């Protein structure tokens, strides 16, 4: 008696970063059909995601924003809403966990599900279950997902591309057991996961451009052409054979924030202000994941593309904006001391994680010394008051928006940008101004 076929789904959030950006800013991004997420139109960053309407102009993820704007000048460009993306990703994962305990996060917007053994529980075709999962995710988050279904992670991954609305699908595409090879025949080899540009180019030089081209080769012939490991792998891949299990993703190693500036920054005051902004955001991401970090790393990419970094590992893990910003500033000043040139990119990363327990709520007008050590000894890197204050600010920002409260240095800079250039008072020859 043969083993039952595996029942694997890949859940892919549709244009995830675009959809979340529209939720965050319904009056701006929410009304823009032509939308690019990744930074401002003047930035030197790359496209994180683009709406389906923009993709028709040839805009793709990873493309420099400057090029994307040339391809689609009418597009609105907005930054990535990082904290909200993390929150919605966790919300989707929580919904998926209600359907099966075996959920593997492949990325912030993709999850594999193994529904093996659930046949009696749901008593319906796999595609029907997938449609119900889509409805549950939308009800809980307001976001749309597409689902590929099949007997392997590979087939589910390829099937989800057919399921997407942008490809003309209805949100779910199932590849029935026994039809995997026939399904795979429709694709170019370059469309398959893990067939990168170099391998695709090598295959094309040998006349292998589409899956049927490779299906015509024996395993021995592919091994002779590509070597044992790649040849054997491709022989199975084009037939939809993939034995990889669905398993929980390895523990998260780090969280980071970085920004590529529209113009090189030279002044320390400007750079430290941007460093403070990044420190505040990455610390919020850390707390959102329920973590604390011992290692803080600052990355600098100079105007000549030389990339440097410095790190410090603390005795105890931290989570507050104040602690992260203080260490990041120390590291940044160390890097600036060794080389003072224009800066193109700045980044802050946190790692060396430990679980964090949410502190009790703090009243904003508690005494300044609350939670501080009494007297004697070096002050701690982070106090309990720092942690409570950080969580309180998170709650305020979640309710009223990130810009409603923050460090004075950042608010002053924002106010100056909003006011524009300030006219100087110049004394006239008669002594008046």
Tell me the binding residues for Mg(2+): 12, 109
Looking at the annotation, which residues are catalytic? 110
Contact 352, 311 (CB under 8 A): no
SS3 content of the chain, % helix, strand, coil (to 5): 40, 20, 40
Any residues with CB less than 8 A from the CB of 305 and at least 6 apart, and which?
344
For β-strands 8-13 and 145-150, DSSP reports them as antiparallel
What are phi and psi for residue 262, nearest 5 degrees? Answer: -65, -35
Half-sphere exposure of 394 (CA within 13 A, CB side): 26
Residues that constitute the known binding site: 12, 109
| Residues paired with 77 in a beta bridge | 36
Q: Tell me the residue ranges of DSSP E strands in 266-302.
A: 291-302
Question: How many CB atoms lie under 10 A from the CB of residue 203?
Answer: 23
Question: How many CB atoms lie under 10 A from the CB of residue 390?
Answer: 24
Q: What are the structure tokens assigned to 258, written together?
A: 């970085």
| Residues paired with 11 in a beta bridge | 111, 147
Contact 38, 47 (CB under 8 A): yes
Contact 213, 188 (CB under 8 A): no
What are phi and psi for residue 113, nearest 5 degrees? Answer: -125, 135
Q: Tell me the residue ranges of DSSP E strands in 204-332.
A: 254-265, 291-302, 307-318
Of 274, 385, 235, 253, the residue nearest 323 (C-alpha): 385
d(CA 164, CA 289): 29
Could you write out the DSSP letters of every residue in 73-87? TT-EEE---HHHHHH
């Amino acid at each position: 008696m043969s083993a039952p076929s595996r029942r694997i789904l890949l859940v892919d959030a549709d244009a995830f970063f675009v959809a979340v950006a529209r939720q965050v800013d319904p009056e701006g991004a929410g009304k823009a059909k032509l939308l690019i997420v990744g930074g401002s139109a003047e930035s030197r960053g790359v496209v994180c995601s683009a709406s389906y309407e923009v993709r028709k102009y040839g805009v793709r993820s990873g493309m420099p924003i400057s090029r994307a704007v040339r391809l689609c000048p009418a597009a609105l460009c907005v930054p990535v809403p990082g904290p909200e993306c993390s929150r919605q990703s966790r919300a989707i994962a929580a919904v998926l966990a209600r359907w099966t305990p075996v959920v593997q996060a492949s990325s912030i917007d993709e999850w594999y599900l193994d529904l093996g053994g659930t046949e009696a529980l749901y008593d319906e075709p796999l595609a029907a279950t997938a449609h119900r999962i889509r409805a549950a995710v939308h009800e809980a988050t307001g976001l749309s997902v597409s689902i590929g279904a099949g007997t392997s992670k590979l087939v589910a991954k390829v099937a989800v591309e057919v399921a997407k609305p942008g490809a003309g699908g209805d949100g779910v595409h199932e590849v029935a057991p026994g039809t995997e090879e026939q399904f795979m025949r429709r694709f170019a080899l370059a469309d398959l996961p893990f067939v990168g540009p170099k391998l695709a180019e090598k295959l094309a030089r040998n006349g292998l451009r589409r899956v049927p081209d490779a299906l015509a080769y024996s395993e021995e012939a592919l091994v002779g052409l590509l070597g044992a490991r790649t040849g054997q792998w491709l022989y199975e891949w084009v037939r939809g054979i993939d034995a990889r299990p669905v398993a929980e993703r390895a523990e998260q190693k780090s969280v980071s924030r970085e920004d590529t500036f529209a113009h090189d920054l030279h002044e320390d005051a400007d750079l430290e202000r941007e460093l403070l902004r990044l420190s505040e955001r990455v610390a919020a991401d850390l707390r959102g994941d329920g973590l604390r970090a011992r290692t803080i790393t600052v990355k600098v990419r100079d105007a000549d593309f030389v990339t440097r970094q410095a790190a410090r590992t603390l005795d105890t893990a931290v989570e507050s904006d104040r602690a992260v910003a203080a260490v990041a500033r120390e590291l940044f000043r160390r890097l600036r001391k060794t080389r003072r040139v224009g800066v193109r990119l700045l980044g802050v990363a946190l790692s060396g994680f430990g679980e964090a327990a949410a502190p009790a709520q703090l009243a904003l007008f508690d005494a300044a010394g609350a939670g501080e050590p009494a007297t004697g000894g070096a002050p701690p890197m982070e106090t309990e008051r720092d942690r409570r204050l950080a969580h309180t600010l998170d709650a305020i920002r979640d309710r009223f928006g990130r810009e409603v409260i923050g460090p004075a240095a950042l608010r002053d800079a924002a106010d100056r940008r909003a006011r524009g250039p300030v006219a100087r008072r110049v004394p006239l020859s008669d002594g008046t101004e």
